[in-house]
Amino acid sequence: MRIMVLGGDGYLGWPTAMYFSARGHEVAVVDNMIKRFWEQEVGVEPLIPVATLQHRIRRWREVTGKAIKLYVHDIATNPRALYKSFEDFLPEAIIHYAEQPSAPFSMVDREKCVSTQVNNVAGTLNVLFALRHIVPDAHIIKLGTMGEYGTPNIDIEEGWLDITHNGRKDRLLYPKKPGSFYHLSKVHDSHNLEFACRIWGCRVTDLNQGVVYGIDTDETRLDPEFNTSFHYDAVFGTVLNRFIVQAIHGLPLSVYGKGGQTRGFLNVRDTLACVELATLAPAAQGEFRVFNQFTEQFSVLDLAKRVERVAKSRGHVAKIENVPNPRVELEDHYYNAKHSALPALGLKPHLLTDEVVAHMMSVVEASQRRIDPDIVAPTVKWKQR
Amino acid sequence: MRIMVLGGDGYLGWPTAMYFSARGHEVAVVDNMIKRFWEQEVGVEPLIPVATLQHRIRRWREVTGKAIKLYVHDIATNPRALYKSFEDFLPEAIIHYAEQPSAPFSMVDREKCVSTQVNNVAGTLNVLFALRHIVPDAHIIKLGTMGEYGTPNIDIEEGWLDITHNGRKDRLLYPKKPGSFYHLSKVHDSHNLEFACRIWGCRVTDLNQGVVYGIDTDETRLDPEFNTSFHYDAVFGTVLNRFIVQAIHGLPLSVYGKGGQTRGFLNVRDTLACVELATLAPAAQGEFRVFNQFTEQFSVLDLAKRVERVAKSRGHVAKIENVPNPRVELEDHYYNAKHSALPALGLKPHLLTDEVVAHMMSVVEASQRRIDPDIVAPTVKWKQR
């Protein structure tokens, strides 16, 4: 299949491109490398240096003999280049990661809020128009987030909700209560995508993904230069990655508030498996299909305790510390999110065991001297003026 | 009260500014006049010429002795000017009409879709940030649209829905199914505004307004130069205005498809009354309050028949014609939208009587020679490539 990965330079985009290439698909990646710039703006770097995308693609060809095509342009501001790349590659599946991915980044100030929403919303709209003009039967696999739902007091369904109200019924988009301007941008995308399916007959799978953890995949392990970006900082890092780095560096594991915040989590390997399952069993013409993409629910405190335990078994001094919550969110809430569609397609989850945590620790330990302890504490407050 | 009207050059903005000024409030208007440019882009004009906003404000002072303050800047792209105008005027209420207001305009092509969403979403975000920094207790009265809801098969509530699901309850934003990229931009705004209330404690009233009809208000009648823009074209015109112009010009009353599309409607005078009621009884700190702002429901065919009847009684040859629907929408559907909050605050509706239609006709008849019959037929198709 001809698969185009938008955001191919990123934490998930690069492993996805390698994954499909390794399995014999024709793969193209699109990126404008702006994430590297955003990292510099807030002064953070991934734990392990990531070579340029151009370099990794050359190296991939040397190691595997397989080509990955590269288009460097901004999908949000350069629609002409986007259209041309679609005309050139004629994708059958478009895996869309090309968005500003951080909640704290979107909450820094007005400029970062507006640029996050404009970048994400306009980019996705441009993809929809390019698809409609050039490859109307292609399938969009769009990365959304479980954070679109927030923490409602009712069960979270997969994108749609059957509602009975005053004796009448309808199936409507699940009402969203997102927790940051970033999460809101994904809600806006979901609405725009559903409309395109309804009006133009597009095929879309919206993957409402949980918090991803993990460092490597089968492909990243093929060569030292294939690693993907592992962020542990307070802006682009996810919580498990951060706790592991804190434990290894001898920093307290900083739990925001009470730590009762419960979320869905998944291993980066399962991201790839889920995206593959969605790609190989595409949405029907006109279908806006939503999958909740995670494998397990944990509270933040659960995770901290697990990291503390595994870290201690490896000789680290690990200690949990409750810090004031920089976000505005419930710290004690109901959370029961359905996630049966991807298992029904065949997903076999990699669950979070102590062995998985220990393996992540071993990778981080090998790069321990590169940890910058000054980028771990939260700097962005949801309520700051 | 110090009331700032964003979008003060527009069909509703200008009458709103005069309305509050006439009642002794301190009024400022903000506009960048871009609507005039958009009209030229698609080649349409209001039926009766509208003087520059600067001229009308000078004339308003001559006629009434009252000052209206003017700020000319783009709220979506010039946040610095927006902040400065807030610092200068220190609004207590901000009535926000400053958005691209046409569904067909947003469906013309990629550029107009993206610019509509970026303009509307970024403008509203900038207003939120300016408010938070400068006048955090001010109340935003935001014009949304009943079109955010679409035509669900269940009763439409006012913004929020009490949901019972698997034995648990929550009150969540009413799920939306909007019918154009314009309507989607308003859905995005609503989500962003609700978040700002929840996180920052803002006060917001989101007015989900029906289709407005009508030409004049008490204030527009004070002087020939106070009229507001009356659009009857297929891009910026609303349906009743268009039918009246068609009847008077001897054009068939063009009903899109079967005409069973049912919507909420209101007189422009009731728009002013509703905005005043919302302004004088502000939302509480942290409250995202939604009012469905319309007074009656009609199907498009109902309206056409009424115009036909009144037009014939005035000697016009009026004839209804079903034309292919340029939009993608249900033409036969359930529609029961609640609208009790504004009447509870004291709204006394101006209902659509034959006399009201006849009065509108008399105004249009007086400008009959200015009708351009070539701008009435729809040119924008929802499905076009």
Beta-carbon-side half-sphere exposure of residue B342 (alpha carbons within 13 Å): 29
Which residues in chain A have their CB less than 8 angstroms from residue B166's CB? Answer: 154-155
Cross-chain Cβ contact B129/A122 below 8 Å: no
Instruction: Calculate what percentage of chain B has a pLDDT beyond 90.
Output: 99
Residue B120's nearest CA partner among B134, B103, B133 is B103
Which residues in chain B have their CB less than 8 angstroms from residue A159's CB? Answer: none
> Residue A206 in 3-state DSSP?
strand
Q: Among residues A116, A124, A145, A262, which one is catalytic?
A: A145
Helix axes B13-22, B268-280, angle to 10 degrees: 60
Distance CA A258, CA B68 (A): 51
Distance CA B211, CA A95 (A): 39
In A, minimum Cα distance to B194 occurs at A177
Residue A219's nearest CA partner among A381, A60, A385 is A60
**pLDDT digits 0-9 by tens, A128-148:** 999 999 999 999 999 999 999
Cross-chain Cβ contact A175/B177 below 8 Å: no
pLDDT-based confidence at residue A384 (cuts at 50, 70, 90): low
Two structure tokens written together for B287: 């409250």
Contact between B204 and B159 under an 8 Å Cβ cutoff? The reply is no
Cross-chain Cβ contact B176/A153 below 8 Å: no
Contact between A375 and A234 under an 8 Å Cβ cutoff? The reply is yes
In B, minimum Cα distance to A130 occurs at B110
Beta-carbon-side half-sphere exposure of residue A47 (alpha carbons within 13 Å): 32
> Residue A339 in 3-state DSSP?
coil
How far does B185 lie from chain A, in Å, by closest CA?
Answer: 8
Distance CA B146, CA B152 (A): 12
Q: Among residues A112, A142, A186, A305, which one is catalytic?
A: A186
pLDDT-based confidence at residue A234 (cuts at 50, 70, 90): very high
Distance CA B141, CA B160 (A): 17
Q: Which residues of B are catalytic?
A: 145, 182, 186
**pLDDT digits 0-9 by tens, B367-377:** 999 999 999 99
- What ipTM does the predicted assembly reach? 0.97
Give the mean model confidence (pLDDT) for residues B221-244.
Answer: 96
Q: Is the pLDDT of residue B385 over 60?
A: no
Q: Between A172, A174, A187, which is nearest B177 by CB?
A: A172
Residue A48's nearest CA partner among A380, A266, A371, A374 is A371
Mean residue pLDDT of chain B comes to 97
How far does B130 lie from chain A, in Å, by closest CA?
Answer: 9
Torsion angle (degrees, nearest 10) of CA A385, B3, B4, B9:
160
Name the helix (H) or strand (E) containing A291. strand A288-293
**pLDDT digits 0-9 by tens, A306-317:** 999 999 999 999
SS (H, E, C) chain B: CEEEEECCCCCCHHHHHHHHHHCCCEEEEEECCHHHHHHHHHCCCCCCCCCCHHHHHHHHHHHHCCCEEEEECCCCCCHHHHHHHHHHHCCCEEEECCCCCCHHHHCCCHHHHHHHHHHHHHHHHHHHHHHHHHCCCCEEEEEEEHHHCCCCCCCECCCEEEEEECCEEEEEECCCCCCCHHHHHHHHHHHHHHHHHHHHCCEEEEEEECEEECCCCCCHHHCHHHCCCCCCCCCCCCHHHHHHHHHHHCCCEEEECCCCCEEEEEEHHHHHHHHHHHHHCCCCCCCEEEEEECCEEEEHHHHHHHHHHHHHHCCCCCCEEEECCCCCCCCCCCCCECCCHHHHHCCCCCCCCHHHHHHHHHHHHHCHHHCCHHHCCCCCCCCCC
Q: Between B117, B133, B199, which is nearest A382 by CB?
A: B199
Q: Is the pLDDT of residue B384 over 80?
A: no
Interstrand relation of A262-267 and A211-213 (parallel, antiparallel or unpaired)? parallel
**pLDDT digits 0-9 by tens, A236-273:** 999 999 999 999 999 999 999 999 999 999 999 999 99
Cross-chain Cβ contact B122/A125 below 8 Å: no
| pTM across the whole model | 0.98
pLDDT of residue A385: 53
In B, minimum Cα distance to A124 occurs at B114
Mean residue pLDDT of chain A comes to 97
Distance CA A233, CA A47 (A): 9
Contact between B114 and B47 under an 8 Å Cβ cutoff? The reply is no
pLDDT of residue B279: 98
**pLDDT digits 0-9 by tens, B67-102:** 999 999 999 999 999 999 999 999 999 999 999 999
CB neighbour list of residue A258: distance below 8 Å, 6 or more residues apart: A301, A322, A331, A332
Q: In the block, which residue shows the tokens 């009903």?
A: B255
